[in-house]
Amino acid sequence: MRIAIVNDVRMAVEAVRRVVLTQPAHQVAWVAMDGVEAVDLCAKDRPDLILMDLIMPNMDGVEATRRIMASSPCAIVVVTADVYTNSSRVFEAMGAGALDAVNTPVLEHPATSEGANALLAKIETIRKLIGASDGKKAFAPASAAPAQPARHNHGWLVAVGSSAGGPAALAKVLSQADWLNSQTPLHVRLAADGDSAGPGTVLLAGQENHLAFTGPNRLSYVREPADCSYKPSVDVFFKSVAQFWKGDVLATLLTGMGRDGAEGLQLLHGLGHHTIAQDAKTSAVYGMPKAAVELQAATEVLPLDKIGPRLSNLLDRKIKTHG
Protein backbone atom coordinates (compact mmCIF):
# COMPACT_ATOMS: atom_id res chain seq x y z
CA MET A 1 0.00 0.00 0.00
CA ARG A 2 1.00 3.61 -0.53
CA ILE A 3 0.95 5.16 2.92
CA ALA A 4 1.25 8.85 3.83
CA ILE A 5 2.50 10.10 7.21
CA VAL A 6 1.28 13.33 8.80
CA ASN A 7 3.16 14.45 11.91
CA ASP A 8 5.03 17.59 12.93
CA VAL A 9 7.58 15.74 15.10
CA ARG A 10 10.47 14.43 13.01
CA MET A 11 11.32 11.63 15.45
CA ALA A 12 7.72 10.41 15.30
CA VAL A 13 7.77 10.56 11.50
CA GLU A 14 10.94 8.48 11.43
CA ALA A 15 9.51 5.93 13.88
CA VAL A 16 6.34 5.50 11.82
CA ARG A 17 8.30 5.42 8.56
CA ARG A 18 10.55 2.61 9.83
CA VAL A 19 7.56 0.55 10.93
CA VAL A 20 5.80 0.99 7.59
CA LEU A 21 8.89 -0.04 5.64
CA THR A 22 9.39 -3.26 7.61
CA GLN A 23 6.77 -4.67 5.23
CA PRO A 24 7.98 -4.91 1.60
CA ALA A 25 4.42 -4.44 0.31
CA HIS A 26 4.24 -0.90 1.77
CA GLN A 27 5.82 2.34 0.65
CA VAL A 28 5.72 5.89 1.99
CA ALA A 29 3.82 8.03 -0.52
CA TRP A 30 4.65 11.36 1.12
CA VAL A 31 5.16 13.07 4.49
CA ALA A 32 3.34 16.21 5.69
CA MET A 33 4.34 18.25 8.72
CA ASP A 34 0.87 19.66 9.47
CA GLY A 35 -2.77 19.37 8.46
CA VAL A 36 -2.64 22.14 5.86
CA GLU A 37 0.15 20.41 3.98
CA ALA A 38 -1.63 17.06 4.29
CA VAL A 39 -4.85 18.37 2.73
CA ASP A 40 -2.89 19.89 -0.16
CA LEU A 41 -0.76 16.80 -0.79
CA CYS A 42 -3.75 14.46 -0.60
CA ALA A 43 -5.57 16.48 -3.25
CA LYS A 44 -2.57 16.11 -5.57
CA ASP A 45 -1.58 12.54 -4.75
CA ARG A 46 -4.18 10.47 -2.89
CA PRO A 47 -2.56 7.56 -0.99
CA ASP A 48 -4.20 4.30 0.05
CA LEU A 49 -3.86 5.21 3.72
CA ILE A 50 -2.94 8.25 5.82
CA LEU A 51 -1.40 7.85 9.28
CA MET A 52 -2.60 11.09 10.88
CA ASP A 53 -1.27 12.77 14.01
CA LEU A 54 -3.76 14.74 16.09
CA ILE A 55 -1.93 17.69 17.65
CA MET A 56 -0.12 19.81 15.06
CA PRO A 57 0.39 23.52 14.29
CA ASN A 58 -1.60 25.41 11.63
CA MET A 59 -4.24 22.67 11.33
CA ASP A 60 -4.75 19.73 13.66
CA GLY A 61 -5.52 16.15 12.68
CA VAL A 62 -9.24 16.45 13.31
CA GLU A 63 -9.74 19.34 10.89
CA ALA A 64 -7.35 17.80 8.36
CA THR A 65 -9.36 14.56 8.48
CA ARG A 66 -12.59 16.49 8.00
CA ARG A 67 -11.27 18.37 4.97
CA ILE A 68 -9.68 15.33 3.35
CA MET A 69 -12.89 13.35 3.71
CA ALA A 70 -14.81 16.20 2.11
CA SER A 71 -12.49 16.69 -0.88
CA SER A 72 -10.19 13.66 -1.37
CA PRO A 73 -11.56 10.84 0.81
CA CYS A 74 -9.26 7.96 1.67
CA ALA A 75 -8.58 5.67 4.62
CA ILE A 76 -7.21 7.49 7.68
CA VAL A 77 -5.88 6.02 10.94
CA VAL A 78 -5.06 8.37 13.81
CA VAL A 79 -1.53 7.83 15.15
CA THR A 80 -1.02 9.84 18.32
CA ALA A 81 1.25 9.78 21.37
CA ASP A 82 -1.48 8.54 23.70
CA VAL A 83 -4.89 7.48 22.40
CA TYR A 84 -6.38 7.33 25.90
CA THR A 85 -5.24 10.82 26.92
CA ASN A 86 -6.43 12.27 23.62
CA SER A 87 -9.65 10.24 23.54
CA SER A 88 -11.93 13.24 23.00
CA ARG A 89 -9.98 14.32 19.92
CA VAL A 90 -9.75 10.75 18.72
CA PHE A 91 -13.54 10.56 18.87
CA GLU A 92 -13.80 13.83 16.92
CA ALA A 93 -11.44 12.51 14.24
CA MET A 94 -13.39 9.28 13.92
CA GLY A 95 -16.57 11.29 13.68
CA ALA A 96 -14.95 13.19 10.82
CA GLY A 97 -14.08 9.98 9.00
CA ALA A 98 -10.99 8.35 10.56
CA LEU A 99 -11.32 4.58 10.79
CA ASP A 100 -9.24 3.79 13.87
CA ALA A 101 -6.56 5.05 16.25
CA VAL A 102 -3.28 3.71 17.60
CA ASN A 103 -0.38 4.96 19.73
CA THR A 104 2.73 6.28 17.98
CA PRO A 105 5.50 3.65 17.99
CA VAL A 106 8.76 4.43 19.79
CA LEU A 107 11.78 5.20 17.60
CA GLU A 108 14.07 2.87 19.53
CA HIS A 109 13.72 -0.62 18.04
CA PRO A 110 10.49 0.23 16.19
CA ALA A 111 10.34 -3.09 14.39
CA THR A 112 10.10 -5.08 17.62
CA SER A 113 8.13 -2.75 19.88
CA GLU A 114 4.56 -3.34 21.00
CA GLY A 115 3.61 -0.04 19.36
CA ALA A 116 5.02 -1.21 16.04
CA ASN A 117 3.02 -4.44 16.14
CA ALA A 118 -0.17 -2.53 16.96
CA LEU A 119 0.40 -0.11 14.08
CA LEU A 120 1.12 -2.92 11.62
CA ALA A 121 -2.04 -4.71 12.73
CA LYS A 122 -4.11 -1.57 12.02
CA ILE A 123 -2.47 -1.19 8.61
CA GLU A 124 -3.24 -4.83 7.76
CA THR A 125 -6.88 -4.32 8.74
CA ILE A 126 -7.11 -1.31 6.44
CA ARG A 127 -5.43 -3.27 3.63
CA LYS A 128 -8.16 -5.90 3.88
CA LEU A 129 -10.82 -3.21 4.06
CA ILE A 130 -9.58 -1.52 0.90
CA GLY A 131 -9.43 -4.90 -0.83
CA ALA A 132 -13.05 -5.56 0.16
CA SER A 133 -14.12 -2.14 -1.12
CA ASP A 134 -12.64 -3.01 -4.52
CA GLY A 135 -15.05 -5.90 -4.89
CA LYS A 136 -13.59 -8.77 -2.86
CA LYS A 137 -15.97 -10.39 -0.43
CA ALA A 138 -15.16 -9.96 3.23
CA PHE A 139 -16.78 -13.32 3.89
CA ALA A 140 -19.06 -15.73 2.10
CA PRO A 141 -22.71 -14.69 2.30
CA ALA A 142 -25.32 -17.10 3.53
CA SER A 143 -26.38 -19.54 0.83
CA ALA A 144 -30.02 -18.87 1.50
CA ALA A 145 -32.01 -16.23 3.36
CA PRO A 146 -33.23 -17.30 6.80
CA ALA A 147 -36.91 -17.93 7.17
CA GLN A 148 -38.77 -14.74 8.01
CA PRO A 149 -39.69 -14.87 11.72
CA ALA A 150 -43.13 -14.10 13.01
CA ARG A 151 -43.39 -10.43 13.92
CA HIS A 152 -45.71 -10.35 16.86
CA ASN A 153 -43.53 -11.38 19.80
CA HIS A 154 -41.12 -8.44 19.89
CA GLY A 155 -41.36 -4.70 19.53
CA TRP A 156 -39.68 -2.46 16.97
CA LEU A 157 -35.92 -2.65 16.58
CA VAL A 158 -33.91 0.23 15.12
CA ALA A 159 -30.66 -1.20 13.71
CA VAL A 160 -27.95 1.21 12.56
CA GLY A 161 -24.63 0.46 10.87
CA SER A 162 -21.80 2.85 10.07
CA SER A 163 -18.04 3.12 9.80
CA ALA A 164 -15.91 6.11 8.71
CA GLY A 165 -17.65 9.28 9.88
CA GLY A 166 -20.14 7.16 11.81
CA PRO A 167 -19.89 8.55 15.38
CA ALA A 168 -20.87 12.06 14.34
CA ALA A 169 -23.55 10.77 11.96
CA LEU A 170 -25.07 8.52 14.63
CA ALA A 171 -25.06 11.34 17.18
CA LYS A 172 -26.97 13.53 14.72
CA VAL A 173 -29.53 10.82 13.99
CA LEU A 174 -30.16 10.16 17.68
CA SER A 175 -30.37 13.86 18.53
CA GLN A 176 -33.03 14.35 15.83
CA ALA A 177 -35.10 11.29 16.67
CA ASP A 178 -37.61 13.35 18.62
CA TRP A 179 -40.19 10.59 18.92
CA LEU A 180 -37.71 8.19 20.51
CA ASN A 181 -36.62 10.78 23.07
CA SER A 182 -40.20 11.80 23.85
CA GLN A 183 -41.22 8.22 24.65
CA THR A 184 -38.33 7.54 27.01
CA PRO A 185 -34.94 9.19 27.60
CA LEU A 186 -32.34 7.42 25.51
CA HIS A 187 -29.54 5.71 27.42
CA VAL A 188 -26.44 5.08 25.31
CA ARG A 189 -23.86 2.51 26.40
CA LEU A 190 -21.58 -0.22 25.07
CA ALA A 191 -23.28 -3.58 24.57
CA ALA A 192 -22.21 -6.33 26.96
CA ASP A 193 -22.18 -10.02 26.19
CA GLY A 194 -25.63 -11.41 26.95
CA ASP A 195 -27.44 -8.05 26.68
CA SER A 196 -31.01 -7.75 25.43
CA ALA A 197 -32.47 -4.97 23.31
CA GLY A 198 -34.93 -2.87 25.28
CA PRO A 199 -36.91 0.39 25.15
CA GLY A 200 -34.89 3.57 25.51
CA THR A 201 -31.51 1.87 25.27
CA VAL A 202 -28.95 2.45 22.52
CA LEU A 203 -26.39 -0.36 22.50
CA LEU A 204 -23.08 0.19 20.70
CA ALA A 205 -20.73 -2.53 19.50
CA GLY A 206 -17.73 -2.18 21.79
CA GLN A 207 -15.29 -5.00 21.10
CA GLU A 208 -13.06 -6.27 18.31
CA ASN A 209 -15.37 -9.27 17.83
CA HIS A 210 -18.71 -9.12 16.00
CA LEU A 211 -21.84 -8.07 17.87
CA ALA A 212 -24.75 -10.30 16.84
CA PHE A 213 -28.05 -11.69 17.99
CA THR A 214 -27.57 -15.31 19.00
CA GLY A 215 -31.17 -15.81 20.13
CA PRO A 216 -34.57 -14.10 19.86
CA ASN A 217 -33.37 -11.25 22.10
CA ARG A 218 -29.84 -12.08 23.16
CA LEU A 219 -26.78 -10.17 21.99
CA SER A 220 -23.36 -11.78 22.07
CA TYR A 221 -19.86 -11.09 20.85
CA VAL A 222 -18.81 -13.78 18.37
CA ARG A 223 -15.50 -14.49 16.63
CA GLU A 224 -16.90 -15.98 13.43
CA PRO A 225 -16.50 -15.22 10.63
CA ALA A 226 -12.89 -14.83 11.82
CA ASP A 227 -11.55 -13.83 8.39
CA CYS A 228 -14.00 -10.95 7.94
CA SER A 229 -12.22 -7.71 6.97
CA TYR A 230 -14.69 -5.69 9.03
CA LYS A 231 -14.74 -6.34 12.75
CA PRO A 232 -17.21 -5.78 14.23
CA SER A 233 -19.16 -6.25 11.02
CA VAL A 234 -22.45 -4.55 10.19
CA ASP A 235 -23.30 -7.40 7.80
CA VAL A 236 -22.87 -9.98 10.56
CA PHE A 237 -25.14 -7.93 12.83
CA PHE A 238 -27.82 -7.22 10.21
CA LYS A 239 -27.93 -10.88 9.15
CA SER A 240 -28.34 -11.97 12.78
CA VAL A 241 -31.21 -9.48 13.12
CA ALA A 242 -32.86 -11.05 10.08
CA GLN A 243 -32.45 -14.50 11.58
CA PHE A 244 -33.50 -13.93 15.18
CA TRP A 245 -35.51 -10.74 15.71
CA LYS A 246 -39.22 -11.66 15.90
CA GLY A 247 -40.54 -8.20 15.30
CA ASP A 248 -40.32 -5.33 12.82
CA VAL A 249 -37.01 -3.67 12.01
CA LEU A 250 -36.06 -0.21 10.85
CA ALA A 251 -32.52 -0.61 9.51
CA THR A 252 -30.24 2.25 8.53
CA LEU A 253 -26.83 2.24 6.86
CA LEU A 254 -24.82 5.41 7.40
CA THR A 255 -21.51 6.76 6.10
CA GLY A 256 -18.60 4.34 5.88
CA MET A 257 -15.80 2.97 3.73
CA GLY A 258 -16.13 -0.34 1.92
CA ARG A 259 -19.23 -2.49 1.42
CA ASP A 260 -19.95 -3.72 4.95
CA GLY A 261 -23.66 -3.74 5.77
CA ALA A 262 -24.92 -3.66 2.18
CA GLU A 263 -25.70 -7.38 1.93
CA GLY A 264 -27.26 -7.40 5.38
CA LEU A 265 -29.44 -4.42 4.51
CA GLN A 266 -30.47 -6.16 1.30
CA LEU A 267 -31.49 -9.23 3.28
CA LEU A 268 -33.61 -7.17 5.69
CA HIS A 269 -35.17 -5.27 2.78
CA GLY A 270 -36.04 -8.56 1.08
CA LEU A 271 -37.80 -9.70 4.25
CA GLY A 272 -40.06 -6.66 4.10
CA HIS A 273 -38.37 -4.47 6.69
CA HIS A 274 -38.00 -0.73 6.09
CA THR A 275 -34.41 0.17 5.18
CA ILE A 276 -32.70 3.53 4.81
CA ALA A 277 -29.32 4.46 3.28
CA GLN A 278 -27.60 7.80 3.79
CA ASP A 279 -27.16 9.82 0.61
CA ALA A 280 -23.87 10.68 -1.10
CA LYS A 281 -23.89 14.41 -0.40
CA THR A 282 -24.05 14.10 3.40
CA SER A 283 -21.83 11.01 3.79
CA ALA A 284 -18.27 11.58 4.98
CA VAL A 285 -17.40 8.50 2.92
CA TYR A 286 -20.00 7.25 0.43
CA GLY A 287 -18.92 3.61 0.43
CA MET A 288 -21.24 1.46 2.53
CA PRO A 289 -24.49 3.28 1.67
CA LYS A 290 -23.48 3.44 -1.99
CA ALA A 291 -23.00 -0.34 -2.04
CA ALA A 292 -26.47 -0.73 -0.51
CA VAL A 293 -28.02 1.54 -3.14
CA GLU A 294 -26.30 -0.45 -5.90
CA LEU A 295 -27.84 -3.64 -4.47
CA GLN A 296 -31.26 -1.92 -4.34
CA ALA A 297 -31.25 -2.68 -0.63
CA ALA A 298 -32.67 0.67 0.52
CA THR A 299 -36.35 1.48 0.76
CA GLU A 300 -35.27 5.13 0.93
CA VAL A 301 -32.09 7.15 0.39
CA LEU A 302 -32.05 10.21 2.64
CA PRO A 303 -29.71 13.03 3.69
CA LEU A 304 -28.38 12.69 7.23
CA ASP A 305 -30.55 15.43 8.73
CA LYS A 306 -33.71 13.69 7.47
CA ILE A 307 -32.95 10.20 8.84
CA GLY A 308 -33.68 10.86 12.52
CA PRO A 309 -37.02 12.57 11.87
CA ARG A 310 -37.93 9.83 9.37
CA LEU A 311 -37.26 7.09 11.92
CA SER A 312 -39.41 8.97 14.44
CA ASN A 313 -42.21 9.34 11.91
CA LEU A 314 -42.13 5.67 10.92
CA LEU A 315 -42.14 4.49 14.52
CA ASP A 316 -44.98 6.82 15.40
CA ARG A 317 -47.08 5.56 12.48
CA LYS A 318 -46.35 1.91 13.27
CA ILE A 319 -47.30 2.31 16.93
CA LYS A 320 -50.56 4.10 16.03
CA THR A 321 -51.38 1.44 13.46
CA HIS A 322 -50.37 -1.69 15.34
CA GLY A 323 -50.02 -0.61 18.96
List of domains in the chain: 2-133 (3.40.50.2300), 157-322 (3.40.50.180)
Q: E strands, 40-86, where?
A: 49-52, 75-80
Adjacent-strand bridge partners of 253 = 161, 277
Pairing mode, if any, of strands 218-222 and 210-215?
A: antiparallel
Q: Which of 98, 110, 83 is nearest to 13 (CA)?
A: 110
Task: Kindly report whether the global pTM for this prediction surpasses the value 0.75.
Answer: no
Report how far residue 269's alpha carbon sits from residue 262's, in angstroms, rounded to the nearest whole number. 10
Reading the chain (323 residues) residue by residue, the pLDDT tens digits are 999 999 999 999 999 999 999 999 999 999 999 999 999 999 999 999 999 999 999 999 999 999 998 888 888 999 998 888 888 888 888 888 888 899 998 876 545 567 788 899 889 888 877 664 433 433 333 333 444 444 444 578 999 999 888 888 888 888 877 655 555 567 888 999 999 988 888 899 988 889 999 998 999 999 998 877 788 899 999 999 999 998 899 999 999 888 899 999 999 999 999 999 999 999 888 889 999 999 999 999 999 999 999 998 888 777 666 65
Report how far residue 13's alpha carbon sits from residue 8's, in angstroms, rounded to the nearest whole number. 8
For 297, residues 6+ apart whose C-beta sits below 8 A from its C-beta are: 253, 262, 263, 265, 266, 268, 269, 275, 277
